[in-house]
């Protein structure tokens, strides 16, 4: 009896104290209604997104395990570019929640086509940690393209942009290269990329991407014979890069300011900046002993100043 | 007879004007503390711009006036305005001149046309950096056509030119036409507010937002003042 009494004597206050603590905790929680959620985030909802590449249809659901195994380490489970490896990487992994992509055939600010994303996965991104995923089947890649779309509501509200129209490439001639050089000067590409395309222009050291991380302009001169661009390595790819811009970076779109045929001239000149590359452009250049003559045209171009006396204030 | 007519006219005027009651909210934006020193901008890398400024201009993150006045604060009706969503048909213009954005803070309605012009002899790239709206980035060499754009969601958007890193501006995309940007000593004025309850928000690019509630009952001017705490850095 005494023993039971003693137990009661100790447990009742204990229970009361516990009760008080519990009640206080409850009150605090009820009071602080807007306190941020703690603990793990809810699992990602896999929306039934699709992709269409040729006659392949990709399904987001099918890429669930591939994404978790191969992509989430950098891009994050929630697609926000905050995977556990992200802190060690430069440039940072893409944040899919923004649905802004570097390599597009579509105008700046628009969504890329499924094919653009499919190609990026297959090709990887040079000068970054994104590898070539050609170990995947086409179906796996198509499924992953669909999976990327679950992270941003833009994919449900907007259609992909129209791919820009690229005219057939004219032959590489010295005239074309010279005109390209004049455009490179006039459009001030050199402000970031440098006069020799070495990525050392006057603004180069100040550049940051849209998340305020420092970023370097492309160095055309670096690399060997096979030096690659981030968004592909054909002349068409280079055309697309400067016409559509590299979204999320300082590289703007020139689609409104360069005429389609002029754009090809610029492509031809840019190829000559890849000094170690073996190609038609460098063959034409070396046949002329490496000298690009001034381009003669109605539009004023500082590079063509000696031959162009119509340049305002620049005439001799 | 004549006096009767005059009286009648006066009466009618009175009745009409009372039907079109409209109040005004006006006031001043000030700061407390010491604002960060605005640094002179070195434009020597862009001579065509540098020569447009007899003395180097400074950054415009914080623009102050006498008596602790704070300019470039967007003051707007954030709730209660009856004409929310009416998109003005005329465009707002954002000019790049002397490697500076004019105005530094540009307010526009959602879906209102925004025209961007380059009056300089150098290429700029216009790179607004929205988080909610869609991001794009376009080059605009001298003498090219204006860039036309619009934003469909309300947001404060920082704008920069990557070629000229000192260039910095702000777009304020609002869902109301009742707004002003404090100027000439922190003054602002929001006219034509019909009777009602309003929330007025003041936003500064570095100091954040403040709100005040105000009730307009008739033809009156209500004074609302905002005071921001300056950041030293």
Per-residue pLDDT tens for A179-206?
A: 999 999 999 999 999 999 999 999 999 9
In chain A, the percentage of residues whose pLDDT exceeds 70 is: 82
Reported as a pLDDT band with limits 50, 70 and 90, residue A225 is confident
CA distance A247 to chain B (A): 6
Q: Which pLDDT does position B1 carry in this prediction?
A: 52
Cα–Cα distance between A102 and A230 in angstroms, integer?
A: 9
More confident of the two residues B162 and B17: B162
**Shortest CA gap A253–chain B (Å):** 5
Tokens of A293: 């003559």
CATH of domain B22-82+178-233: 2.60.40.1120
Number of residues written out for chain A: 316
A243: left (phi over 0), alpha (psi -120 to 50) or beta: alpha
- pLDDT per residue over A117-154, tens digit each? 999 999 999 889 999 998 999 999 999 999 999 999 99
ipTM of predicted assembly, 2 dp? 0.83
Of B182 and B81, more confident: B182
Q: Which of the four pLDDT bands, split at 50, 70 and 90, describes residue A315?
A: very low
Alpha helices, H only, chain A: 2-31, 64-66, 72-75, 114-123, 138-148, 154-157, 174-186, 190-193, 235-244, 260-273, 280-287
Q: Enumerate chain A positions whose Cβ falls within 8 A of a Cβ in B.
A: 98, 100, 107-110, 154, 186-188, 191-192, 202-203, 206-207, 210, 245, 247-257
pLDDT in tens, B40-63: 999 999 999 999 999 999 999 999
pLDDT recorded at residue B5: 66
Domain boundaries, chain B: 22-82+178-233, 85-175
Determine the Cα–Cα distance for residues A260 and A239; give it in Å rounded to an integer. Answer: 9
- DSSP structural state of residue A70: I
Confidence grade of residue B12 (pLDDT, cut at 50, 70, 90)? low
> Are B162 and A203 in contact (CB < 8 Å)?
yes
Residue A52 has pLDDT above 70, yes or no: yes
8 Å CB contact of B138 and A108: yes
CB within 8 Å: A252 and B145: no
Hey, which residues does A52 pair with through a beta bridge? A57
Residue B65 scores a pLDDT above 70: yes
d(CA B158, CA A138): 40
Q: What is the mean pLDDT of chain B?
A: 91
Q: Among A110, A186, A252, select the one facing B125 at the smallest CB separation.
A: A252
Residue B51, C-beta contacts closer than 8 angstroms, at least 6 positions apart: none
Q: Are the beta carbons of B136 and A108 closer than 8 angstroms?
A: yes
Of B122, B123, B138, nearest to A256 by CB-CB distance is B138
Express as a percent the part of chain A with pLDDT over 90. 77
So what's the pLDDT on residue B232? 79
pLDDT beyond 80 at A14:
no
**Mean pLDDT computed over B26-32:** 97
Q: Is the pLDDT score of B14 beyond 60? A: no
Topology match between the domains B22-82+178-233 and B85-175: yes
pTM recorded for the entire structure: 0.83
Of B127, B129, B134, the CB nearest to A252: B127
Q: Which domains does chain A have, with CATH numbers?
A: 50-157 (1.10.760.10), 174-304 (1.10.760)
Across the range A288-293, mean pLDDT stands at 94
Domain B85-175: state its class.
mainly beta
């Amino acid at each position: 009896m005494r023993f039971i009494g003693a137990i009661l004597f100790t447990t009742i206050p204990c229970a009361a104290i516990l009760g008080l603590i519990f009640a206080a905790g409850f009150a605090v929680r009820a009071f602080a209604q807007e306190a941020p959620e703690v603990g793990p985030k809810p699992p990602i909802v896999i929306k039934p997104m699709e992709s269409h590449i040729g006659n392949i249809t990709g399904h987001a659901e099918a890429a669930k395990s591939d994404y978790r195994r191969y992509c989430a380490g950098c891009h994050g489970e929630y697609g926000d570019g905050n995977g556990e490896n992200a802190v060690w990487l430069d440039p940072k992994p893409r944040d899919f929640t923004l649905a802004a992509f570097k390599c597009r055939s579509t105008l700046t600010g628009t969504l890329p086509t499924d094919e653009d994303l499919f190609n990026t996965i297959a090709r990887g991104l040079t000068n970054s940690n994104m590898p070539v995923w050609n170990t995947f089947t086409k179906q796996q890649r198509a499924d992953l393209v669909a999976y990327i779309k679950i992270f941003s509501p833009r994919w449900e509200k907007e259609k992909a942009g129209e791919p820009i129209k690229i005219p057939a490439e004219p032959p590489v001639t010295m005239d074309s290269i010279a005109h390209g050089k004049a455009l490179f000067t006039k459009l001030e590409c050199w402000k970031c990329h440098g006069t020799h395309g070495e990525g050392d222009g006057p603004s180069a050291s100040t550049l940051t991407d849209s998340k305020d991380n420092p970023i370097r302009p492309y160095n055309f001169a670096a690399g060997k014979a096979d030096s690659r661009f981030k968004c592909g390595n054909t002349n068409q790819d280079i055309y697309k890069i400067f016409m559509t811009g590299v979204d999320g970076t300082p590289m703007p779109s020139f689609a409104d300011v360069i005429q389609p045929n002029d754009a090809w001239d610029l492509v031809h000149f840019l190829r000559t900046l890849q000094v170690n590359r073996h190609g038609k452009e460098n063959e034409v250049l070396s046949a002329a002993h490496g000298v690009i003559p001034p381009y003669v045209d109605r539009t004023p171009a500082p590079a063509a100043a000696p031959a162009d006396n119509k340049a305002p204030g620049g005439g001799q | 007879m004549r006096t009767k007519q005059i009286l009648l006219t006066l009466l009618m005027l009175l009745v009409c004007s009372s039907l079109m009651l409209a109040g005004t909210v006006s006031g001043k934006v000030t700061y407390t503390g010491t604002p960060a020193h605005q640094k002179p901008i070195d434009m020597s890398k862009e001579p065509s711009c540098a020569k447009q400024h007899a003395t180097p201009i400074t950054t415009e993150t914080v623009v102050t006036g006498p008596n602790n006045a704070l300019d470039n604060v967007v003051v707007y009706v954030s709730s209660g305005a009856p004409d929310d969503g009416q998109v003005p048909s005329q465009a707002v213009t954002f000019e790049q001149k002397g490697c500076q954005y004019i105005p530094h803070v540009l307010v526009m309605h959602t879906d209102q046309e925004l025209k961007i012009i380059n009056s300089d002899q150098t290429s700029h790239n216009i790179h607004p950096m929205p988080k909610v709206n869609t991001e794009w980035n376009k080059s605009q060499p001298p003498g090219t056509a204006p860039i036309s754009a619009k934003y469909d969601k309300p947001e404060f958007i920082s704008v920069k030119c990557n070629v000229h890193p000192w260039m910095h501006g702000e777009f304020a995309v609002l869902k109301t036409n009742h707004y002003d940007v404090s100027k000439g000593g922190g003054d602002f004025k929001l006219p034509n507010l019909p009777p009602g309850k309003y929330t007025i928000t003041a936003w500064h690019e570095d100091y954040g937002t403040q709100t005040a509630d105000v009730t307009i009952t008739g033809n009156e001017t209500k004074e609302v003042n905002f005071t921001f705490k300056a950041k030293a850095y």
